[in-house]
Structure 1
Amino acid sequence: MTIDARKIRLIMALRRSGVTDTKVLAAIERIPREMFVPASFLDQAWEDTALPIDLGQTISQPLVVALMTQALEVTDRHRVLEVGTGSGYQAAVLSRLCRRLYSIERLRPLLSEAEKRFHALRLHNITTRHGDGTRGWPEAAPFHRIMVTAAGGLEPPKDLTEQLAVGGVMVIPLAAGNYGDQRVVRIRRTDHGFDREDLWPVRFVPLLSDTPPDDAPRADPA
């Protein structure tokens, strides 16, 4: 099956699974997912499954990327913060929808590879940083939208909620109470505080606050 046929099959599957935003579907279709997966998994690039990448991380299942992007309600007027660049795939999708994307990654080797992909795809509205994503990006705040692609605790990091503009939306996986359970949560900042809406169960790598040294040993993908 050709890449185009696999892509069409995936887009149809996303529609059946509740992805109704045509702009999100178009962004998924335009971003070549095969550029973001290891060579050994190229034959699965357009399958609706998460795949391992370097340093024990993963590239998320396309359905999860699409649903979280749809939940974020992004427009071309928005400044968006992404916490957890990873392979760069989620960032690339968001970049097709927003005005400016700021993306933070704690693992420098992953960030370097993602930056090469952004350059190759001419995604010039993405600004990146190596650092602790739980602290956000204070000098670029406030953000209209914040996307977190790793699982936090019972509550989102305070620095991130403080950097969300009034009227803004954050989408983040959080612990759901029982050991190991996680749910995607949508948080809206209002004039009076924050409204929280639980969306669906997920499984993400944990949101960590440290930045390991650049010469840390390379872990095998999980």
Structure 2
Amino acid sequence: MTGAEHDDAVERARLLLALRQRGIRDRAVMRALEEVPREHFVEPAMRRVAWSDHALPIDCGQTISQPTVVALMTQALEITSAHNVLEVGTGSGYHAAILASIARHVVTLERFRTLARTAALRLRELGFTNVEVVVADGLAGYPAGAPYDRIVLNAALREVPAALFEQLAPEGILVAPVGPPEDTQMLVRYARKGGGLERRDLGPVRFVPMLPGIAAVL
């Protein structure tokens, strides 16, 4: 084991302990967080802190969310190996990899072509064949793959668009950071129950804002 690999192992163990202390008990989520190599999803200059519990910058002015937030969101989704999942906001592809480690199939939407291409390549190289990366406007969802058992949004918005709830399956769960994009948001879990939605607030978070449309250049 090289020095860098040893440091990664130490930081990974420290992170897993922190996750347990934060109340992450889902075994599938913990296994995914342990096994997905986060260092492959960050910029080369950030690799030495890849396993720290912090959000880190990536291309196009976006971020890779801190692991405890990814774990909290994933646990709240209650994913099983039978589920079809929609992720809005691919970013580096890290959260898609976590989701794909548990779910049957993941469709992940990204408005920046550069991020989508890079994430698709990373995921393919790491063997995640059950992920479909699509360049699309996340606010509209992806009707071609609907209905989705689970939907997760990785960017903040004032309210979840009706189009996304329409693509949520009966008994489905949607998790999103809801609130003013320029301020702290509330991480919210919506569960479809019968003909309505049950809302549960999970705690304050801070995400980059969700932008409409497909980026013109990047």
For normalisation by structure 1, the TM-score amounts to 0.93
Q: Is 1:16 equivalent to 2:21 in the alignment?
A: yes
Q: Which residue of 2 aligns with 1:80?
A: 85
**What does 1:49-88 correspond to in 2, within 5 Å?**
49-88=54-93
Q: Which residue of 2 aligns with 1:206?
A: 209
Q: Distance in 1 between matches of 2:84 and 2:182?
A: 34
For residue 49 of structure 1, report the CA deviation from its aligned partner: 0.6
Identity %: 46
> What is the number of equivalent residue pairs in this alignment?
213
Aligned with 1:111 (options 116, 121, 129): 116
Aligned with 1:173 (options 159, 177, 193): 177
**What does 1:14-163 correspond to in 2, within 5 Å?**
14-153=19-158, 155-163=159-167
Q: Is 1:187 equivalent to 2:185 in the alignment?
A: no
Report SS of the residue matched to 1:2. helix
For residue 179 of structure 1, report the CA deviation from its aligned partner: 7.0
Q: Distance in 1 between matches of 2:12 and 2:204?
A: 25
Greater CA drift, 126-135 or 190-199:
190-199
What RMSD, in angstroms, separates the aligned Cα atoms of the two structures?
Answer: 1.3
Q: Distance in 1 between matches of 2:75 and 2:194?
A: 24
Aligned with 1:164 (options 155, 168, 187): 168
Provide closer, same or farther for how the CA distance between residues 179 and 87 of structure 1 changes in structure 2, counting only shifts above 3 A: closer
Q: What runs of 5+ residues in structure 2 fail to find an aligned partner? A: 1-5
Q: Which residue of 1 aligns with 2:3?
A: none
Q: Distance in 2 between matches of 1:113 and 1:168?
A: 30
Greater CA drift, 191-200 or 72-81:
191-200
Q: Distance in 1 between matches of 2:27 and 2:129?
A: 23
For residue 65 of structure 1, report the CA deviation from its aligned partner: 0.4
Provide closer, same or farther for how the CA distance between residues 190 and 79 of structure 1 changes in structure 2, counting only shifts above 3 A: same
- Kept in 1: contact 2:182–2:209 (CA 8 A): no
Structure 1 residue runs of 4 or more that deviate by more than 4 Å after TM superposition:
none
Aligned with 1:6 (options 7, 11, 21): 11
For normalisation by structure 2, the TM-score amounts to 0.94
